Amino acid sequence: MCQSLYTCSGIFRKQLAVTVLTGCLILPFSAFSLTLQQAEKIALNADPMVNSFNASSRALDKKSIADNTLPDPKLRLGMFNLPVDGFSTTQEPTTQLRLGLQQAFPKGDSLHYKQQQSQWLARSSLAHASDEKLIITRDLRDTFLNLYYEIKAEKIISDSKALFKELVKITEAHYAIGRVKQQGTVNQQDVLRAILELSRLDDRFVQAQGKENEYRAVLAQWIGNKAYEKIDITFPELPALPATIDINEILTRHPAVRVEALKVKADNSLVNLAKQDYKPGVNAFVEYRKRFGDNPNGSSRPDMLAAMVTLDIPLFTKNRQDKNVAASVEKTSAAQYKLDDKLRDMKRTLERNLAAYKRLTERQKIYSRDLLKSAKSNSLASLNAYQAGVTEFTTLMRARLTELDVRLGDLRVRVDRVRAQARLLYITGESK
């Protein structure tokens, strides 16, 4: 009879069981094996913040066009001097129907600077979208790599559990026959020690599974249910770092720095906009005046035309114009300080991660060149010596545990090195 089957890698995933005439055929729920590159693509395509910043940029681009457009003209229509005793348009010679058009012209180049500010902010939003993509890529890589470590650590621990189970059997067999070693008789304590270490491995395996579940949950915020699929066991590869890293060039063109730099330019536009208040604003007015009836001599009354220009006179600037300019200058200074802080933080982050990457590269070489081979040879030699009765069980346990720790350490160093590389790629602006 065919039963429901499950696979376990920290998260139980149901598989599809299909019964056929010849027996039971088990088909996996999904043959999908998630790679880091696939996870990045899914996350970047679905992220709402990137779309939000892009939409804000488009909105500011459209607003910049409106900002450089004159205000709508005003139409004036009305009756003047209409007598209320009879509401006759011909009774009084001063009665007029007036039709006028008024147009305001903002002060100085204020329209230009308003447009300029919106354009700088639009570019800042685009840079923010680019930075958000880099942040998502960096954080997703970090989570994926930690998840990969836990899955591979489970495999290493499982391999060690199989070896320890064999050691338990060997120790129990030696104890059952009362085998005597050169160092003493195999006693019950050796058996109990072997069982204890096996239980400790079970605990380490469960801990790794718990962390795997946590990292899958974090990964799910970017890629949804795909986070609970099978993870590709191939060691994740990232784009190579630049051969040389020019910190000044990198920081100048990094999206996170450009966001702040463009905000400084937008605030500079506000300073120039505030200075336009020292210039007069202009309002132009043209009016056609229709007159009714005739003059006493029988001639018709001529229509009239009025034209007028009004100007703002910025005489008292101490409490308004001066203060607005000063406030805009302070706002620009605040934006510049924020830019300086961002540059300092990025530089510090680059130097810290570059040092970590170099240190982890050296450690990886040590593991691959010496530690892995030495630990494996020591473990094998200890097993042979124990079986030959020339060494104690404690020595064998210590050798086996050392080999396990070295294998996990090698995996941790390789994963941490790539994590440091991912952080450096964020700084260098390389996401592909």
User: Domain limits of the chain?
Assistant: 32-70+108-155+213-279+314-428, 72-105+280-312
Give the Cα separation of 243 and 237 in Å (integer): 17
Alpha helices in 177-319, H assignment, sequence order: 188-223, 247-253, 255-275
Give the Cα separation of 149 and 67 in Å (integer): 54
Which residues on adjacent β-strands are paired with residue 76?
100
CATH superfamily of 32-70+108-155+213-279+314-428: Outer membrane efflux proteins (OEP) (1.20.1600.10)
Which three-class secondary structure state does DSSP give residue 9?
coil
Q: Kindly report, residue by residue over 179-228, the tens digit of the pLDDT.
A: 544 444 456 677 777 788 888 899 999 999 999 999 999 999 999 999 99
Give the Cα separation of 136 and 50 in Å (integer): 10
Which three-class secondary structure state does DSSP give residue 316?
coil
| pLDDT of amino acid 20 | 30
Q: Which two tokens stand for residue 105?
A: 């012209």
Give the Cα separation of 426 and 137 in Å (integer): 8
| pLDDT of amino acid 372 | 94
| DSSP strands (E only) in 232-361 | 282-291, 304-311
| Burial class for 15, CB neighbours closer than 10 Å (0-12, 13-18, 19+) | middle
Which residues on adjacent β-strands are paired with residue 98?
78, 289
Helix axes 36-46, 188-223, angle to 10 degrees: 40
| pLDDT of amino acid 19 | 28
Give the Cα separation of 424 and 352 in Å (integer): 10
Residue keyed to tokens 């009765």: 389
| Burial class for 118, CB neighbours closer than 10 Å (0-12, 13-18, 19+) | buried
Q: Which residues, including other chains, have CB under 8 Å from residue 274's CB and lie 6 or more apart?
A: 321, 324, 325, 327, 328
| pLDDT of amino acid 248 | 83
CA torsion 223→226→229→230, rounded to 10°? -60
What CA–CA distances, in Å, run from 49 to 123, 215, 218?
16, 22, 17
CB count in 10 Å sphere of residue 343: 19
Give the Cα separation of 100 and 289 in Å (integer): 8
* CB-based contact 123:260 (threshold 8 Å): no
Q: Which two tokens stand for residue 392?
A: 């104690």
Q: Strand 230-231 vs strand 33-34: parallel, antiparallel, or unpaired?
A: parallel
Give the Cα separation of 309 and 307 in Å (integer): 7
| pLDDT of amino acid 164 | 78
Q: What is the DSSP letter of 228?
A: G
Q: What is the DSSP letter of 126?
A: H
pTM of the entire predicted model: 0.79
Amino acid, res. 413: V
Query: Cα–Cα–Cα angle for 274, 277, 280, nearest 5°?
Result: 155
* CB-based contact 418:236 (threshold 8 Å): yes
Q: What is the DSSP letter of 185?
A: E
Give me the tens of pLDDT residue by residue for the chain, a chain 432 residues long.
333 333 333 333 333 332 233 333 333 334 568 999 999 999 998 889 999 999 999 999 999 999 999 999 999 999 999 898 888 888 888 889 999 999 999 999 999 999 999 999 999 999 999 999 999 999 999 999 999 999 999 999 998 888 877 777 776 666 666 554 444 445 667 777 778 888 889 999 999 999 999 999 999 999 999 999 999 999 999 999 888 888 888 888 999 999 999 999 999 999 999 999 999 999 999 999 999 888 888 788 899 999 999 998 888 888 899 999 999 999 999 999 999 999 999 999 999 999 999 999 999 999 999 999 999 999 899 888 877 777 777 788 889 899 999 999 999 999 999 999 999 999 988 644
